A and B are shown apart, each in its own frame.
Chain A
Amino acid sequence: MTNLDATVADLGLGPPSRDPGPAERGPGRRRSRRYSLVAPSSALAHAGTFGKKAAGPALAVTYLSLLVLLPVAALITNAFSGGWHTFWAAVTQPEAVAALELTLVAALIVAIINSIAGLAIAFVLVRDDFKGKSVVSALIDLPFALPTIVAGLTLLALYGANSPFHLDLAGTRLGIGAALLFVTLPFCVRSVQPVLAELDAEIEDAASSLGATRRQVLRRILLPSVLPAVLAGAGLAFARAVGEFGSVVLISGNIPFKTEVASSWIFSLSQSDALPAASAVSIVLVLISLLVLLGIGWARRRFDVPETV
Chain B
Amino acid sequence: MNENRWRLPLRFGVLGYLALLVVLPVGTVFYRAFQHGLGAAWHAFTAPDALHALWLTLLVAAIAVPLNTVFGVGVSIILARHRFPGAWLLDAFVDIPLAISPVVIGLALILVYGHTGWLGNWLAARGITVIFSVPGIVMASAAVSLPYVVREVLPVLQEIGTEQEQAARTLGARPFTVFRRITLPNIRRGLAYGVTLTTARVLGEFGAVAIVSGAIAGKTQTLTLFISNSIDNLDPQSAYVGAVALCLSALIVLLFLTMTDRNREAWHGKAAA
Give the interface of A toward B (CB within 8 A).
1-4, 7-8, 56-57, 59-61, 63-64, 66-72, 74-75, 77-78, 117, 120-121, 123-124, 128, 130, 136, 138-151, 153-159, 164, 178, 181-182, 185, 208, 214, 239, 242-246, 249-250, 262-264, 266-267, 270-271, 275, 278-279, 282, 285-286, 289-290, 293
Q: Are B74 and A60 interface neighbours, CB within 8 A?
A: yes
A244 to B207, CA, bound (A): 9
Contacts of A285 in B (CB 8 A): 101, 104
* Chain A residue at minimum C-beta to C-beta distance from B151: A307
A282 to B96, CA, bound (A): 14
The yes or no answer to B94 lying at the interface (CB within 8 A) is yes
Contacts of B32 in A (CB 8 A): 157
Q: Are A267 and B111 interface neighbours, CB within 8 A?
A: no
Contact of B227 among A68, A150, A243 (CB under 8 A): A150
For this complex, 7 residue pairs linking A to B, each with C-beta atoms less than 8 Å apart, are A4-B169, A57-B78, A69-B93, A148-B224, A243-B101, A275-B107, A289-B99
| Contacting residues of chain B (96-116) with chain A, CB-CB under 8 angstroms | 96-97, 99-112, 116
Q: Are B118 and A148 interface neighbours, CB within 8 A?
A: no
How big is chain B's contact interface, by range? 35 or more
Q: How many Å from the CB of A107 to the closest CB on chain B?
A: 11
* Known contacts A67-B142, A68-B146, A149-B206; 10 further A-B pairs (Cβ under 8 A): A3-B162, A60-B74, A64-B146, A77-B111, A143-B22, A243-B101, A267-B211, A275-B116, A286-B104, A289-B99
A278 to B211, CA, bound (A): 12
Contact of B100 among A8, A214, A249, A286 (CB under 8 A): A286
The yes or no answer to B205 lying at the interface (CB within 8 A) is yes
A119 to B96, CA, bound (A): 28
Q: Are A185 and B21 interface neighbours, CB within 8 A?
A: yes
Contact of B13 among A8, A120, A239 (CB under 8 A): A120
The yes or no answer to B191 lying at the interface (CB within 8 A) is no
Q: How many Å from the CB of A69 to the closest CB on chain B?
A: 6
Q: How many Å from the CB of B203 to the closest CB on chain A?
A: 7
Q: Are A286 and B246 interface neighbours, CB within 8 A?
A: no
Contacts A121-B17, A154-B29 given; indicate if A72 touches B101 (C-beta within 8 A).
Answer: no
Q: Are A243 and B250 interface neighbours, CB within 8 A?
A: no
Q: How many Å from the CB of B189 to the closest CB on chain A?
A: 17
Contacts of B34 in A (CB 8 A): none
The yes or no answer to B204 lying at the interface (CB within 8 A) is yes
Q: Are B204 and A270 interface neighbours, CB within 8 A?
A: no
| Contacting residues of chain B (1-17) with chain A, CB-CB under 8 angstroms | 2, 6-7, 10-11, 13-15, 17
Q: Are B112 and A70 interface neighbours, CB within 8 A?
A: yes
Contacts of A270 in B (CB 8 A): 106-107, 110, 211
Stretch of B43-51, B180-188, B252-260 lying at the A interface: B252-260
Contact of B109 among A71, A242, A245 (CB under 8 A): A71
Q: Are A293 and B99 interface neighbours, CB within 8 A?
A: yes
Q: Are A4 and B224 interface neighbours, CB within 8 A?
A: no
| Shortest 6 CB-CB contacts between residues of A and residues of B | A147-B204, A243-B101, A71-B108, A154-B25, A246-B206, A74-B111
